[in-house]
A and B are shown apart, each in its own frame.
Chain A
Amino acid sequence: MNVVVKIGLRNLLRQKRRSVLLGIAIAFGTAILIMAHGFAHGISDNLFNRIVVYVSGHVGVVFSENGNLFKQIFHDGQRVKEIVKKEIPDVVKIEEGIGIFCRAIGNGKSDNVVMIGIDLSQLGDEKTQQQDADNFKMTEGSFEDLSNESIENPVILAKEKAAYLNVKKGDIIRVRYRNVTGQDQAARLTVVGTFLPANMFMSAPVFLELTDLKRLLGYGPNDIGQLFITIKNPKKDAVLYAEKLQEALRPEPARIDGYISAGKGSVPVTVFGYKTDTLSVAALNNKLSATGKKAGKSECFIGDSLSSVLGIAPGSNVALSYRLKYADSIVSSQIKITSLTQKGVLPGNVILLNDEDFYKIFYSNWPAAVKDNPKWHRLSESDPLKEIVAAEWTLFPRAKSTEELAKLQKEIARKKIRGTSVDVRTMYESASSVLSLEYALHMITLVAVLVLFFIILIGVVNTLRMTVKERTREIGTVRAIGMQKSDVQLSFILETFFLTLFSSLAGTVAAFLAMKGLSMFKIDAEGNPIGMMLVNERLYFVPVFTSVVFFICLIMVIAVGTAFFPAKKAANLSAAEALRHFD
Chain B
Amino acid sequence: MKKMYLLLFTITCAVNAVPKIDELLENIDKRYSMANDVKANVKITQQKTGQGAKKFEMIYYRRDATNSFLIVMTDPAVEKGNGYLRVDDNFWMYRRNTRTFQHINRDESIGGSDARGDDFESRKLMEMYSPAKDSSGKELIIEDTLGQIKVYKFEIKAKVNDVDYPKKIYWVRRDNNLILKEESYALSGTLMQTSYFLKYAEIKKAMVPVKQLFIDEFEKGNKSVLEISGISTEKLDNTIFTKAYLESLSK
Tell me the A residues contacting B by CB distance below 8 Å: 67-68, 70, 103, 105, 110, 174, 176, 178-179, 181-187, 218, 410, 413-414, 416
Contact = CB atoms under 8 A, between A and B. Distances in A.
Contact of A183 (B103, B163, B218): B163
B192 interface: yes
A186 B186 contact: yes
A110 B49 CA distance: 10
Contacts of A181: 161-162
Contacts of B113: none
B164 A183 contact: yes
A174 to B, nearest CB: 7
Q: How large is the interface on B (under 10, 10 to 19, 20 to 34, 35 or more residues)?
A: 20 to 34
B211 to A, nearest CB: 23
The 4 closest A-B pairs by CB, nearest first: A181-B161, A186-B190, A413-B103, A186-B186
Given A182-B164, A183-B186, A187-B188, 6 more contacts: A67-B103, A70-B105, A182-B162, A186-B218, A413-B104, A414-B103
B78 to A, nearest CB: 20
Contacts of B165: 183-184
Contact of A110 (B105, B158, B184, B219): B219
B161 A182 contact: yes
Contact of A176 (B90, B104, B158, B219): B219
Contacts of A416: 89-90, 103
A410 B164 contact: no
B219 A184 contact: no
Residue of A181, A182, A183, A187 most packed against chain B (CB within 10 A) = A183
21 contacts: A67-B103, A105-B218, A105-B219, A176-B186, A176-B192, A176-B218, A178-B107, A181-B162, A182-B162, A182-B164, A183-B161, A183-B163, A183-B166, A183-B187, A184-B164, A184-B184, A185-B187, A186-B188, A187-B188, A413-B104, A414-B103
Contact of B219 (A70, A103, A179, A218): A103
Contacts of A185: 186-188
Contacts, number: 55
Contacts of A105: 218-219
A85 to B, nearest CB: 31
A124 to B, nearest CB: 33
Contacts of B184: 184
Interface in B25-71: 49
A351 B118 CA distance: 33
A103 B216 CA distance: 12
Nearest to A70: B105
A259 to B, nearest CB: 25
Nearest to B165: A184
Interface string B164-200: 1110000000000000000010111010110000000
A373 B158 CA distance: 39
Interface string B12-36: 0000000000000000000000000
A182 B107 contact: yes
A174 B103 CA distance: 32
A120 B219 CA distance: 32
A68 B91 CA distance: 12
Interface in B129-163: 158, 161-163
A410 to B, nearest CB: 7
A167 to B, nearest CB: 16
Nearest to A69: B105
B186 A184 contact: yes
B188 A174 contact: no
Contact of B103 (A182, A184, A218, A410): A410
Nearest to A415: B103
B184 to A, nearest CB: 7
Contacts of A176: 186, 192, 218-219
A184 B217 CA distance: 13
Contacts of B103: 67, 410, 413-414, 416
Contacts of A70: 105
A410 B103 CA distance: 8
A178 B106 CA distance: 13
B189 to A, nearest CB: 9
Contacts of B158: 183
Nearest to A176: B218
A67 B90 CA distance: 11
Contacts of B105: 68, 70
Contacts of A186: 186, 188, 190, 192, 218
Nearest to A413: B103
Contact of B192 (A67, A179, A184, A218): A184
Contacts of B188: 185-187
A361 to B, nearest CB: 13
A583 to B, nearest CB: 74
A357 to B, nearest CB: 12
A245 B184 CA distance: 44
B69 to A, nearest CB: 17
A174 B187 contact: no
A312 B184 CA distance: 41
Contacts of B162: 181-182
A363 to B, nearest CB: 11
A70 B90 CA distance: 16
A414 B193 CA distance: 32
A385 to B, nearest CB: 25
A218 B187 CA distance: 10
A319 to B, nearest CB: 18
A297 B186 CA distance: 33
A174 B161 contact: no
Most buried by A among B49, B118, B218: B218
Contacts of A110: 49, 219
A417 to B, nearest CB: 11
Contacts of A183: 158, 161, 163-166, 186-187
Contacts of A182: 107, 118, 161-164
Nearest to A177: B186
Nearest to B220: A105
A418 to B, nearest CB: 10
Contacts of A187: 188
Contacts of A413: 103-104
A183 B187 CA distance: 9
Contacts of A218: 187
